[in-house]
Amino acid sequence: MKSHTRVCIIGGGVVGCSVAYHLTKLGWPDVTLLERSELTSGSTWHAAGGFHTLNGDTNMAALQGYTIRLYRELEALTGMSCGLHHVGGVTLADTPERLDMLKAERAKHRFMGLETEIVGPEEIKAVAPITNIDGVLGGLYDPLDGHLDPSGTTHAYAKAARMGGAEIHLHTKVLHTNPRVDGSWEIVTDKGMIIAEHIVNAAGLWAREVAAMAGCYLPLHPMEHQYLVTEETPEIYERDTEHPHVMDPSGESYLRQEGRGLCIGFYEKTCRPWAVDGTPWDFGHELLPDDFDKIEDSIAFAFKRFPVLERAGIKSVIHGPFTFAPDGNPLVGPVPGLRNYWSACGVMAGFSQGGGVGLSLAQWMIEGEAERDVMAMDVARFGRWITPGYTLPKVIENYQTRFSVVYPNEELPAARPCRTTPMYDLFDGMGAVWGQQYGLEVVNYFAQEGEPRFETPSFRRSNAFAATAREVAAVRGAVGINELQNFGKYDVRGAGARTWLDRIMAGRIPQPGRLSLTPMLSEKGKIIGDFTVSCLGDDHFQLTGSYGAQDYHMRWFDGHLVADVTVHNVSDRRTGFQIAGPRAREVLQAVSQAHVGDIAFMDVRRSSIGNASAIVQRVSYTGDLGYEIYVDAMEQRALWDVLWNAGQAFGMKPFGMRAMMSLRLDKFFGSWMREFSPDYTPAETGLDRFISLKKNVDFIGRAAAEAERATPPERRLCAFIVDADDADVVAYEPIWIDGAVRGFCTSGGYSHHSGQSVALGFVPSDQEVEGLEVEIEILGEMRPARLVTTPLFDADTARMRG
């Protein structure tokens, strides 16, 4: 083993080998992969080898598509076989809700270039004849589905990596990883030591233990998983062609042909976590004991769906562990708080996702950012608050719901409440219906006496509709109050604070007492944040952004910090309320000693409200006259009492996130990770109007922003009024123009104020014309829609600025 390497990858499973291959392919040949045993010695060797593109997140689905297409390339490059069986697959739907979900997926696939199709029961019977279609309403057919040889594929990745310059050392166990002052790492193994500029933790089943060597916690947990292989079956071996895969979500099963028999695996509700106290180092090429009790119900269901199974003897049982993150997506990217330490862990579908993980991570390491938005698998999407006590129940829940219908408004119950603000019990007593964001309980809406305290999961308008309408009416008609807990808030101080912000943010940095809105850009000009900057003093600023992006943003801030600036994440320490609506000023005046009439739009000032010392800023995401009032979390209850008591005389009502998202649609305001994400650029989304090319600063992303100004983008974010029925746009519905898919939606919903269904989405720039007639495909139905440019509320901004 050499003494130094640019990248040391720990782990020779399919993921580690894919990362090694992609690093060498993209131009970093000096890669050393260390494997404590043989390649594939973790989860990889016993995988069923199935692959598919279906994933609720479109970027993940696209990366899965990339992974699947890569295998042929890998075979051609290495001359090795991946044992590919591109047999196609069908996912069954036996409830209208599941069919809705599959239709929504199919619609997304249109603009992703994936050739899936919705098929009826008879077509399912024709392509997958061993399926009993009783009760089946339809399905989604994906010609890309298939399976491969897990070991052959991993070795093909390894050979391709070696061909690119990588060294692979087997039987070399990493014992310690020690950070060095220059940011590199000392990696101590049982065969000696190696210094690496970068570490990649691809240790799969042992990723927790390897992370702990660097003093960090990665939120993942192994689960037991079982599949059965049958004896030879005439219904299979007498066929001329290979039987396709069949995913039967109601039966929590996936089935495929294996040789002359079948292979069927289960995601049973009665699942079991594995190695709760840590993965034993001596675990290797053994399997877990068979456990038919655990899958008894699933097998009984499978016998009905695939009657041939009842007659087929079982040849072998594969029962092994593999890891999951709380939401089932991988944990990829630079680990917040550590220098040059990268995660490639928690990959629960290594043969669907391994290629995409390897590609994205290699791009990130070499070019500073991945080509597409990888937030869905970014290791920073979980905050520092996460603990094994949270991860374990969430991982179990994720396993249990792997085949469940996923509704856009669904709030999953495990590990809740986890984090609450001082308002929790009070709001609960007022009828709060809770959601969760980044571990925090947030009010979605307030149910009235007699209304259910639970929002029915649905693809269509839910039982929250009436409550949301009430709350919107209260804001637009009088004044609403909403907790400001779910903003990420950062306190920036120091002699160099303004200079630093000018470099980090693309927009203008305000003078004392003023606010500005600004995008934050990556080097390549992608949107990596949209912030409100409040200037609290010459050397003191507050930033507010997305609550869910705290670790993501802190990682960026820390990575770019300079000596005379400090940045503290105060998201949970600084909280408060926003009051919004035509009577908001009167409420604020009633609780303030100072005159508030002269607080202009985009002003910020310090103020005493009741006993609390507050930061008051005049801005509101509702698009209305409104104020954000921030205090220390210890003073939040006192602030509430003062505002709420004073507000009663002005018709104050509380409102939650459902109303907030409806109110912002009235003004076509975009939101983080819907309209504003690393997939999009400022000029595409209209955020370019907040970029200051006039400032004499080489801010990050400037060159890209200038280039974009010189060459306008090919697509633009636009608003549409949709002739919807009972289902509004959620995200990624295709937009059809003249019979062809020309764009897609980013978000949408019902504007209760205007009584119309609204969608935001991208269309080609030359189509951005008021009144353009389009069709938006919602749950498989074409809904007429019209492009609009005039906001549905306060179009002249008289109320917001008045």
Binding site for ligand FAD (CB under 6 A): 10-16, 34-37, 41-44, 46-51, 173-174, 202-206, 210, 225, 227, 318, 320-322, 347-352
- The minimum distance between CB 591 and ligand FAD, in angstroms, equals 55
Give the nearest distance from C-beta 339 to ligand FAD in angstroms: 20
In whole angstroms, what is the distance from residue 108 CA to residue 722 CA? 18
- Closer by beta carbon to ligand FAD, 355 or else 494: 355
C-beta of 331: minimal distance to ligand FAD in Å?
Answer: 10
| d(C-alpha 36, C-alpha 284), whole Å | 10
Instruction: Tell me how far, at minimum, the Cβ of 60 lies from ligand FAD, in Å.
Output: 13
Nearer to ligand FAD, 42 or 494 (CB): 42
Q: If we measure between CA atoms, which residue out of 377, 349, 404, 399 comes closest to residue 50?
A: 349
Contact yes or no for 214/199 (Cβ under 8 A)? yes
**Which residue, 107 or 223, is less far from ligand FAD as judged by CB?**
223
What is the rounded distance in angstroms from the CA atom of residue 317 to the CA atom of residue 196?
Answer: 41
| DSSP code, position 731 | S
Cβ nearer to ligand FAD, comparing 229 with 661: 229
Of 85 and 394, nearer to ligand FAD (C-beta) is: 85
Dihedral of CA atoms 723, 725, 728, 731 in degrees, nearest 10, equals -80
245 or 667: CB nearest ligand FAD: 245
Element of type H or E holding 130:
none
Minimum separation from the CB atom of position 183 to ligand FAD (A):
21
Nearer to ligand FAD, 353 or 677 (CB): 353
Question: Residue 330 or 435: which CB sits closer to ligand FAD?
Answer: 330
In the block, residue with structure tokens 């590919």: 84
Q: Are 437 and 486 in contact (CB under 8 A)?
A: yes
Closest approach of ligand FAD to the CB of residue 155, in Å:
12
Query: Is there a contact between 743 and 765 (Cβ–Cβ < 8 Å)?
Result: no
Distance CA 380, CA 444 (A): 24
- Helix 58-78 / helix 150-163 crossing angle, nearest 10 deg: 70
Q: 């600084």: which residue's tokens?
A: 574
HEC string of 518-537 equals EEEECCCCCEEEEEEEEEEE
Q: Give the position of tokens 């006259």.
A: 625
Kindly give the pairing relationship between strand 515-521 and strand 261-266.
Answer: unpaired
Taking alpha carbons only, the member of 190, 187, 181, 182 closest to residue 200 is: 187
Question: Which residues are CB-neighbours of 709 under 8 A, at least 6 positions away?
Answer: 683, 688, 693
Nearest distance from residue 204's CB to ligand FAD, in Å?
A: 2
Q: What is the DSSP letter of 114?
A: -
Nearest approach, Cβ of residue 260 and ligand FAD (Å): 19
Give the shortest CB-76-to-ligand FAD separation in angstroms. Answer: 22
- As measured in angstroms, the least distance from the Cβ of 233 to ligand FAD is 20
Coil, helix or strand at residue 90: strand
Confirm if 187 and 105 have CB atoms less than 8 A apart.
no
Least separation, in Å, of the C-beta of 343 and ligand FAD?
11
What are the CA-CA distances from residue 26 to residues 347, 359, 430, 740 (Å)? Answer: 22, 9, 56, 35
CA distance 31 to 313: 46
**Is residue 504 helix, strand or coil?**
helix
The Cα 43–Cα 644 span in angstroms is: 55
Query: What are residue 783's phi and psi, to 5 degrees?
Result: -110, 125
Q: Which is nearer to ligand FAD, 225 or 553 (CB)?
A: 225
- Name the minimum Å distance from CB 615 to ligand FAD: 45
Residue number with CB closer to ligand FAD (202 or 719): 202
Strands in 336-392 per DSSP E:
341-345
Q: Which CB sits closer to ligand FAD, 209 or 768? A: 209
- Return the number of the residue (16 or 749) whose C-beta is nearest ligand FAD: 16
In angstroms, give the least distance from the CB of 231 to ligand FAD: 19
Residue 760's closest CA among 643, 661, 614? 661
Q: Is 98 helix (H, G, I), strand (E, B) or coil?
A: helix
d(CA 231, CA 233): 6
Q: Which two tokens stand for residue 158?
A: 């390894």
CB neighbourhood size of 323 (10 A): 28
Rounded to an integer, what distance in angstroms lies between the CA atom of residue 676 and that of residue 530?
A: 7
Q: What minimum distance in Å lies between the beta carbon of 309 and ligand FAD?
A: 18
Spatial separation of the C-alpha atoms in residues 187 and 170, rounded to whole Å: 15
Smallest distance from ligand FAD to CB 227, Å = 6
**E strands, 512-620, where?**
515-521, 527-537, 540-546, 566-569, 574-580, 604-609, 612-617
Considering the complex, what minimum distance in angstroms separates the CB of residue 319 from ligand FAD?
7
The answer to whether 383 touches 419, Cβ cutoff 8 Å, is no
Nearer to ligand FAD among residue 172 and residue 485 (C-beta): 172
Nearer to ligand FAD, 17 or 549 (CB): 17
Is the CB of 89 or the CB of 626 nearer to ligand FAD?
Answer: 89
User: What DSSP character marks residue 216?
Assistant: -
Local structure of 77: helix, strand or coil: helix
Q: Which is nearer to ligand FAD, 11 or 138 (CB)?
A: 11
**Cβ-contact 518, 535 below 8 angstroms:** no
> Rounded to the nearest whole angstrom, what is the least distance from the CB of residue 318 to ligand FAD in the complex?
5
- Tokens standing for residue 559: 């990575």
Closer residue to ligand FAD, CB minimum distance, 191 or 493: 191
Best CA proximity match to 170, nearest among 35, 19, 15, 20? 35
Q: Which is nearer to ligand FAD, 178 or 566 (CB)?
A: 178
State the minimum distance, in angstroms, from the CB of residue 502 to ligand FAD.
42
